[in-house]
Structure 1
């Protein structure tokens, strides 16, 4: 039986409006557009971490049937290159490639073969021979390179109060170091593009999260006007941050198209997804926390040591949460980076929060244990309604409510505070909790609505260049238009991901839902207001859209709208908040553990669609569990290549790894955040999940696990903490 949708789709747990396109194969992803006369490009990767190319032999490849071009630095188009040493990477950064014989990391693109078929291009690529002058001074070992670390000149170091004073006032101090490894995004859809260069005009079907920034990057790299570039990203099969910026396969495809005079498709292989599409960097985080015996925090310091590439700078903001989550007067956050001959890292889901919250919420749990306080009550005691980092009130903050309600649903009262005291056969059972927060940005967003009167029905089409990366953007925009136009959702069509449409900030940073939907709202409101004004109808008079068009003697009408943060928005800190609870069972002899239950409570503004929002939280919880269970990328210490290079050795959670999960959304409409009261949710779901699991492992075993991921071997080898009764 098909569910009848109400006129106002907002708040309804409806199925995805684009779902039928996906299950029938009609949703076109970047590599699926039918482009005539298309040929294929295959990137060639370096096999050294640092050095120079001293000779290239392309003769064998060029003799093969179907090969059209072998492109290397010797014949590549001249592109704009970086200015200065290690400029900061951004979502709209240029992406020069094949501009010199220098090699900066293992796997760097050093060539591209263009051929009639994908198979011809792949085989020909394997025949191109390179000789190198290898530089033995390549920096590829994190532990051995710490002396090379520098402090980034980006103003991110922060302090308030006096740490020494705060620590001296403390009755108890926790000082520990927490480690998270390199991780890779690995969306299901490989990075891909079909690009054409036609008389100086570029058309790229590309898997990108931010269409406008992709245009800026292409035009900037080739030094051509923005108006001559069009990017289409109608459907994106996952991104998690890896498709925020424009990677070099897109530039290679555009360059190749210009050189061969035909559209060129370049698809990044799964192995190349490790070396050529960014990653989450390794982080070593030193925490110092001071507190009074009654649980009052006096000091909190968060020092992060990470790495960046030798060509661009990226720093994951691990200390972001430590600056604002708790009421602590003395606070310090610092960063150092090691330039390494590894690819440039970049944003991965909840950059900073996912990794930084592991360190912070683990340290908070350690402090609660030392103070013999309930870790839930310890967090609640140090709650604050003021963002001390920004010295501004939160627009809304229901963290305590998240913790209290979650504790009730989870059965926290049954937790045994003494580690190793809850047993069932060979299993040690533990409960863990963590608090979560995620900044909820809201950015200027434009939209167009086209109204068509068909007999006695109005059908609306909403257009914007925003993207759907699997999060449900099509659906929530359709629901928004239905709400403000007062027509059924079935009569709304949404068109996304084309730079010919009005500009939005794209998908990323948890700003998509608030930005897109408010942009769509503004367009719909403008349409109704204009139609009423044309006929001198009072703004508050209720008139059906059908009648409005008829009164204006129109069968088609277009309007655009723009939404952006208000002056009041700038006076507050806008965040989503949450709480995670985990129950973990650990086999005391083998170290094998199972995540049995998880409860997640989210305070994330107005929930536009509980079904798609639930999917976002489940995805975040799964990635958070993956941080603990298995996810890590190993760098080969002698050559600088990644040992993990496929899903056979880079492990992610599967269904049997995951727990019985309950997700709770607290009712909240934060009208300071934006007119619709929407906040971000996509990244809140991963924040501090890892800590809730490791805190549960401590409660089960008495062992503190401070380096992710946690394997059974690590658990067996770990020592029980001092003070734990065995």
Structure 2
């Protein structure tokens, strides 16, 4: 992508923090200079269910450099859950080492603190734990009788599903499975925790700073004002760093006991067992349609698992509530408590997994109807969100599909599978539609304007985080735009709970919320400076001149942006379409993705360069979801067989395709004053379905269980009606 030097929003400028990152000057959680720091390493359980009978810490305590060993016997008593199965949220307390019960393989059962990292790691292996082991519940199939409805909102219906299916000329019922996946951001989960005279300071890798202060204060039952959390740079999260996990609480507990700062880094292996995951989802789809392609009924029923002590539901059916015009609709979610850690949000929770089932089923129905899958989707487009009975603030899904089809060369696609070949390769084209809610949340910001050598410069402060998405850059571009100064004269300071409160990073609300918060602060500063000198609101005047006229060398203002009353009257979503060309070796079942085209309508694009990076990241995760990523469970003991990058296969460059990303021009002023929507999670939504649909078009085999491995492809049978 060509980069130009420019100020203001909408330009593909380089990341303003890029030089800091490539020179190693950007400080991540464990890179802050903290004096007298010591190191901790957690001890994990080696059973999935049972009780600790005894813990022998004597050998570990005698090891060189060891300062303390914490277990449930000597750990500080923390606030306990007030209900049996509390829902996991981003402000949920995180008690740890509070009993001898073991709920899942890898659960923290101890903590060793030593003078060095190496000493702590070695000594942790010397802790000897004896268990009274029980048979764990680790199989979805064997525990179906325990399935329950989490909340009333877990189910949704409109119309009469049975009547809709009866009225259909063609029906479909199929089950789709997405496996357990793990987030694995580049930066490990980590913290430097300090407890000093009742005051807490945590340098930690978190996506939501203010929520982290709430978790810490509530867990330890101390005033929130005594807690400071700093997350200046976060090396990826994908949802795993939304919650304040138990390693943070462990480190703080140790710091309080020892009176020293404690650094705790979760190992890559522990990131399989202790920092969340996307759970296995079994999704049953039923669709009914008329001969002309009109949908008459659609149901989406999901069976997932949660832990035995905490509840998390991935809303896979949400996408099926609103994406298409269908009069009879049924959505159900059921959970089974199993002896695994509590799942949590992973990029596009619900949409990434739910869209695989929905968009695969839509492709299957189009095949049954002998209808082009793009025409089938367009036939059932709607400008009304039928799940909310509200109009969409904007919806360019048809445009995404049509423009993508043109760019991709969809007209070259052959409807009959197995008819497009090149030597031993079977070539297929696949398409899928994508949608993702575009939330906009209350955000506050401060702007500090200074006059230096006759030039106005500005600093923006907010507790927002940059998880690699470009927050620093787009906030600087926003301030540049609304203050009328070059981007290079804007400094952005993020990730400190001492700064004005934002919703943090997650849910695709970051860009719209942060930038509107910065806008509000800048607009307030300009308005106040003009008001002081009775300068008309509409009169253009340079910021430096405004300061000079007010005899000021420094001025501060704050602003808060939040959804309008009009926003609440609409459904606000981003939309997109994915196109994939996949080649499959007919003898080995090996798949190669040759081309991908992604088209998105996500409001005003603040920076095409950082936005492009977001989509590329989403597409890469979508490829992993479709072809390589799965966490396998040992069927007897409940531990993960896949526990390193040697056996958990994330996509690399050679797995990826030639990619074209297209952003449609759109400014949705109902969404917010700047017309911005989220794209971070739209990028992964329905990618797996477009690949699976392309593989069907290439091979005539429907792949309903992810990931699509060569073994599965070889073993699969041709769909009825496909000629061999």
Give the structure-2-normalised TM-score: 0.99
Residues 236-385 of structure 1 correspond to what in structure 2 (within 5 A)? 236-385=234-383
- Structure 2, unpaired ranges of 5+: none
Aligned residue for 2:111?
112
Q: Structure 1 residue 70: deviation in Å? A: 0.2
**1:234, 1:399 → 2: CA distance?**
36
Alignment of 1:212-223 (within 5 A): 212-223=210-221
Once residues 140 and 181 of structure 2 are traced to their aligned partners in structure 1, the CA distance between those partners, rounded to angstroms, is 15
Q: Greater CA deviation, 518-527 or 80-89?
A: 80-89
Q: Tell me, yes or no, if the aligned pair for 1:305 and 1:335 is still in contact at 8 Å.
A: yes
**Contact 2:3 2:14 survives alignment (8 Å):** no
Secondary structure of the equivalent of 2:395?
coil
Matches within 5 A, 1:482-501: 482-501=480-499
Aligned to 2:59: 60
Once residues 275 and 191 of structure 1 are traced to their aligned partners in structure 2, the CA distance between those partners, rounded to angstroms, is: 12
Q: Is the 8 A contact 1:5 1:489 kept in 2?
A: no
1:143 to partner: Cα distance: 2.0
Q: Which residue of 1 aligns with 2:407?
A: 409
8 Å contact 1:444–1:564 — kept in the other structure? yes
Residue in structure 2 matched with residue 34 of structure 1 by the alignment: 33
Match of residue 164 from structure 2: 166
Kept in 1, the 8 Å contact 2:286–2:298? The answer is yes
* Contact 1:574/1:673 (8 A) holds in 2: yes
Other structure's SS at 1:155 match: helix
Structure 1 residue 629 displacement after superposition: 1.1
Is the partner of 1:10 in helix, strand or coil?
Answer: coil
Mapped contact 1:5–1:488 kept (Cα < 8 A): no
Measured against aligned partners, the alpha-carbon deviations of 1:178-220 in whole angstroms (never above 9, x if no partner) come to: 0000000000000000000001110000000000100000000
The aligned counterpart of 2:5 is: 5
> Which sections of structure 1, spanning at least 5 residues, go unmatched?
none
| Residue correspondences, number | 723
Give the C-alpha shift of residue 3 in structure 1: 7.3
Provide the rounded CA distance (Å) in 1 between the counterparts of 2:441 and 2:62: 52
Matched residue, 2:18: 19
Cα distance, 1:725 vs. partner? 1.2
Counterpart of 2:720 in structure 1 is: 722
Query: Which range is displaced more, 76-85 or 283-292?
Result: 76-85
For residues 44-65 of structure 1, give each alpha carbon's deviation from its aligned partner in whole angstroms, at most 9, with x where no partner exists.
0000011111111111011112
Q: Give the conservation status (yes or no) of the 8 Å contact 2:4–2:12.
A: no
Q: What is the alpha-carbon distance in structure 1 between the residues aligned to residue 80 and residue 603 of structure 2? A: 43
Matches within 5 A, 1:597-636: 597-636=595-634
- Aligned match of 1:466: 464
User: Any idea what the Cα deviations from partners look like across 1:497-533, whole Å, max 9, x if unmatched?
Assistant: 0000000000000000000000000000000000000
Change (3 A) 1:46 1:154: farther
- Kindly provide the CA deviation profile for residues 688-723 of structure 1, in whole angstroms up to 9, marking residues without a partner as x: 000000000000000000000011010000000000
Following superposition, the deviation at residue 84 of structure 1 comes to 1.4
1:563-582 → structure 2 map (5 Å cutoff) = 563-582=561-580
Q: CA deviation at 1:4?
A: 6.7
Residue 593 of structure 1: CA displacement? Answer: 1.0
SS in 1 for 2:185: coil
Counterpart CA distance in 2 for 1:154 and 1:99 is 31
Question: 1:150 is paired with a residue of what secondary structure?
Answer: coil
Kept in 1: contact 2:6–2:13 (CA 8 A) = no
Farther off after superposition, 154-163 or 284-293: 154-163
Partner of 1:72: 71
Measure, in 1, the Cα distance between the counterparts of 2:694 and 2:151.
Answer: 38
Alignment of 1:488-567 (within 5 A): 488-567=486-565
| Cα offset, 1:148, TM superposition | 1.5
Is the CA contact (8 Å cut-off) linking 2:234 and 2:466 kept in structure 1? yes
TM-score, with structure 1 as normaliser? 0.99
1:225 maps to 223
Q: Kindly state the Cα deviation for residue 5 of structure 1 after the two structures are TM-superposed.
A: 3.2
Q: Moved runs in structure 1, 4+ residues, more than 3 A?
A: 2-7
User: Is contact 2:525–2:558 with CA below 8 Å preserved after alignment?
Assistant: yes
